[in-house]
Amino acid sequence: MLDAGPLLRAEGLCVSFGGLQVLNKVSVEVTPGTVLGVIGPNGAGKTTLFNTVCGFVRPESGSLHFDGRPLRRPRPHQLTRHGIARTLQGLGLFPRLTVLENVLAGATARARTGALPALLASPWAQRHDRRLAAQAMDVLETLDIAAEARRVCASLPYGTRKRVALARALVSEPRLLLLDEPAAGLSETETAELAGIVRGLRERTTVMLVEHHMDFVMNLCDQLVVLDFGEVIARGTPAEVRADPVVQRAYLGEAVEAAGGRDA
Ligand SMILES: Nc1ncnc2c1ncn2[C@@H]1O[C@H](COP(=O)(O)OP(=O)(O)OP(=O)(O)O)[C@@H](O)[C@H]1O
């Protein structure tokens, strides 16, 4: 079988803010159909790495390739057209809109309906809207929250709203899904359920996630990259990373022992 090559390749990314070097020659590869976890202590540069991939932050040097082609600082609103979607550390939802309306907001980047057909409520535009709504419902079903579609987001528990945020990213059918602390604020049960969901997503997309929850990361991810002070200090499978003395020293010590021996 031909080696498909990485879906995302970041090479030698350097970013600094006001003289503080936040990423120093960071290189990362994400293999199609896998889950890559980016871990590291607070302030290590994990979110900055995400923001650089998304085009929110301009690197001083280094390069990004997506599916073998240069990814030249996509404008954030063009991300989904590139085949990339992300969730935020918080929720980033519209609290007064329903679940379905929030998810449809993530689908609009793919909508081909121009303003004129929409204004005239042309049959073509209506068909297109129905198709998007069906697609949104399909994603809600995958995430087991279809029953909440008509409910206003603000009225839902936090764990459900986290799923809505995930649905909104998924509805654009991204080839690469970036999840920023997806387990933050979830109970242990919700975290375990989320791991099962993300594992299932590998059939339809490739996932790169930032997370502090060690059990979640160790049980779910195929590969890990460890950042410390803006540099990659280790990479490999969860088992390899857990056994790495450099990682133990820099960061994981107790957390890894607590999550020991439970790789999926
Ligand atoms: N826009 C910015 N301007 C100035 N400094 C910034 C900016 N964004 C991030 N930083 C600094 O860059 C460093 C890395 O931040 P980043 O948010 O990428 O870390 P992180 O690993 O995601 O941390 P956490 O786990 O706490 O979310 C931190 O010292 C942070 O204060």
Q: What is the pLDDT along the chain (264 residues), one digit of tens a residue?
A: 445 789 999 999 999 998 899 999 999 999 999 999 999 988 999 999 999 998 889 999 999 999 999 987 777 677 788 889 988 777 788 889 999 999 988 776 555 555 555 555 666 666 777 788 888 999 999 999 999 999 999 999 999 999 999 999 999 899 999 999 999 989 999 999 999 999 999 888 999 999 989 999 999 999 999 999 999 999 999 999 998 888 888 765 555 555 554 433
Do the domain assignments include residue 88? no
Structural domain includes residue 99: yes
Using a 10 angstrom Cβ sphere, with 0-12 exposed, 13-18 middle and 19 or more buried, the burial of residue 192 is middle
Domain shared by 27 and 133, yes or no: no
- For residues 196 and 227, membership in a common domain is answered with yes
Kindly list the distances between the CA atom of residue 238 and the CA atoms of 76, 179, 188, 208, 260, in Å, as whole numbers in the listed order: 31, 18, 20, 14, 10
- CA-to-CA distance for 174 and 85, rounded, in angstroms? 6
**Dihedrals phi, psi of 16, to nearest 5 degrees:** -135, 150
Asked if 69 and 189 sit in the same domain, the reply is: yes
42 Cβ below 6 A of ligand 1? yes
Amino acid at 79: L
Residues 59 and 183 placed together within one structural domain of the fold? yes
User: What is residue 50's three-state secondary structure?
Assistant: helix
Specify whether 78 is located in the same domain as 185. yes
User: How many domains is the chain built from?
Assistant: 2
Task: Please check whether residue 15 is in contact with residue 51, taking contact to mean a CB–CB distance below 8 angstroms.
Answer: no
151 and 184 in one domain? no
Task: Please check whether residues 162 and 210 belong to one and the same domain.
Answer: no
Q: Are residues 1 and 35 in the same domain?
A: yes
One-letter amino acid at 22 equals: V
Among candidate residues 166, 189, 220, the one where a domain is terminated: 166
Q: Whose CA is nearest to atom 1 of ligand 1?
A: 17
Quick check: is 47 in a domain? yes
Q: Which domain holds residue 131?
A: 93-166
Asked if residue 235 lies in contact with residue 223, where contact means CB atoms within 8 angstroms, the answer is yes
Give the tens place of pLDDT for each residue, 9-53.
Answer: 999 999 999 889 999 999 999 999 999 999 998 899 999 999 999
Which residue has a Cα nearest atom 13 of ligand 1? 43
Instruction: Say what the ipTM of the complex is.
Output: 0.95
With a 6 A CB cut-off, is 57 part of the ligand 1 pocket?
A: no
Residue type at position 58: R
- Max CA pair span of the chain: 65
Ligand 1 atom with minimal separation from the 49 CA: 18
- Looking at the structure, tell me whether residues 50 and 103 fall in a common domain: no
119: in domain: yes
**CATH at 70:** 3.40.50.300
Strand order in 8-17's β-sheet?
Answer: 20-30, 8-17, 61-66, 69-70
Same domain, yes or no: 78 and 23: yes
Domain check: are 162 and 179 in the same one? Answer: no
